[in-house]
Amino acid sequence: MSALRTAQDVADGERSASEVVAESFRAIDQRDAEIHAFLTLQREQALGEAEALDVRITNGENVGPLAGVPIGIKDNMCQIGEVTSCASRILEGWRPPYDATVITKLKAAGAIAVGKTNMDEFAMGSSTENSAFGVTRNPHDPEKVPGGSSGGSAAAVAASMVPLSLGSDTGGSIRQPAALCGVVGVKPTYGLVSRYGLVAFASSLDQIGPFANNVEDAALLLEVIAGHDPKDSTSLNQPAPSLVAHLDHGVRGLRIGICSDLLQGASDDVATAVAQAAAVLQGAGAELSEISIPELGLGLSAYYLIAPAEASSNLARYDGVRYGLRVDGDDVTAMNTRSRTAGFGDEVKRRIMLGTYALSAGYYDAYYGQAQRARTLIIQAFAKAYGSVDLILGATTPTTAFGIGEKSGDPLAMYQSDICTIPTNLAGHPALSVPFGKGVDQMPIGVQLLGPTLSEQRLFQAARVIEQGAPA
């Protein structure tokens, strides 16, 4: 069901918001025992909001572009009074005293949050297996991972429990699960969507973005959540882009580069899907060319120094005093140590140790400093590429969804699943993943479109063309 249509029907009084929201909970009740996309549900709250919305509609009020549309919220976004755990024991049961800006905007647009979705602990991971509260399963095959870290949000949309959800993307955590679950996922330009109320992982990379079943719904949701926010000092000072109105403008004359470096390690079926998506764009009038940006190969190693370095600093606040879990000790240091030992999972501890090491005196320049220089090279290489192409096309992930347990014991193999998504985050650019057919295993494939800063309008136009030309 399209979110846009649902909102129009609700606003026109064709359907009630209460009915739409009740239907979403029925789907959740039917499927989520198996999938486990949600950590918590807000049944009473959501139905109450839907009823209130219905009253406002009856009174002739304008209720916003997402009237009555149920939405899943990744569990690292603060929602007043609702548990926001980041899938971590250390924040188990923590209820924020305020709403993230995205939540405020969703409420104003008439959307109804139905629950918080599962994720890798503190968004560190690519499979949602690092959740402290159990794995999420891929709706296309429950033995496979949904991707991560926003696996719950992707699975909830893929299993038709909600038409929309929000995720966060630091190194690929929206696009990678979108590809593995067969839905649309968008990582906006850094600063386009406010990070106020998003629990920080790596602040120079984190960005909130939409999941949807189709390009139009993703565009609509991004329009709602984007825009300047004085509460986030990195928020871009400019209005939300107009996306839905421009969706059907096509790609005629657009220069699109197929990037060989974003096909590295890709399986044959994924590489074929990218080639077919390129043919679809070409058929619609785009000028395709083959490009190479070898600097993108530096992305993975730069990211796994910069992101853990920032995380080690951001996660210092979980000390047993201010938030969540406290395990008592004889003195403050013992209490800090015990709380953090009990509260954080293995991957989070690994990142804190990596990051602390990379930032420590004597190693700072060789690791963190060097990673920042690599980041600059990537930014410069992208800038050069965008001198001759408007958009870049590549794979979102090297393969379709892998099995539950297949990579959880091998952190390096897990890190490799973000090889195609990480460079965009380092550059602060937007990118999105659009479903394009199935692999030999019948699992969904996603193709990725990348563009320069604030090229969202063009990205969505090209995504729409790919969507319309995708195999059924």
Please identify every residue annotated as catalytic. 74, 149, 173
Q: Ramachandran region of residue 368, left (φ > 0), alpha (ψ -120 to 50) or beta?
A: alpha
When the beta carbons of 123 and 450 are compared against ligand GLN, the nearer one is: 123
When the beta carbons of 57 and 198 are compared against ligand GLN, the nearer one is: 198
Minimum gap (Å) between residue 154 Cβ and ligand GLN: 12
Name the token pair of 464.
């729409």
**216 touches ligand GLN (CB under 6 A):** no
Task: Pick the closest to residue 86 from 125, 33, 58, 47 (CA basis).
Answer: 125
Name the token pair of 461.
């136009």
Which stretch, 6-14, 122-130, 227-235, 236-244, contacts ligand GLN (CB under 6 A)? 122-130
**172 touches ligand GLN (CB under 6 A):** yes
Which positions from 354 to 383 touch ligand GLN by CB under 6 A, shown as an x/- string? ------------------------------
Q: Which of 70, 72, 163, 171 binds ligand GLN (CB under 6 A)?
A: 171
Minimum gap (Å) between residue 371 Cβ and ligand GLN: 14
Which stretch, 8-16, 80-88, 171-179, 262-270, contacts ligand GLN (CB under 6 A)? 171-179
Minimum gap (Å) between residue 469 Cβ and ligand GLN: 28
Minimum gap (Å) between residue 267 Cβ and ligand GLN: 19
Which positions from 35 to 64 touch ligand GLN by CB under 6 A, shown as an x/- string? ------------------------------
When CB distances to ligand GLN are compared, the closest residue is 173
When the beta carbons of 213 and 416 are compared against ligand GLN, the nearer one is: 416
Which stretch, 165-173, 263-271, 360-368, 453-461, contacts ligand GLN (CB under 6 A)? 165-173
Site for ligand GLN in 124-153 (CB under 6 A): 124-126, 149
Which positions from 279 to 318 touch ligand GLN by CB under 6 A, shown as an x/- string? ----------------------------x-----------
Minimum gap (Å) between residue 255 Cβ and ligand GLN: 28
Amino acid at 367: Y
**390 touches ligand GLN (CB under 6 A):** no
When the beta carbons of 6 and 149 are compared against ligand GLN, the nearer one is: 149
| 8 A C-beta contact, residue 464 and residue 216 | yes
Q: Which chain residues interact with ligand GLN by CB under 6 A?
A: 123-126, 149, 169-173, 201, 307, 418
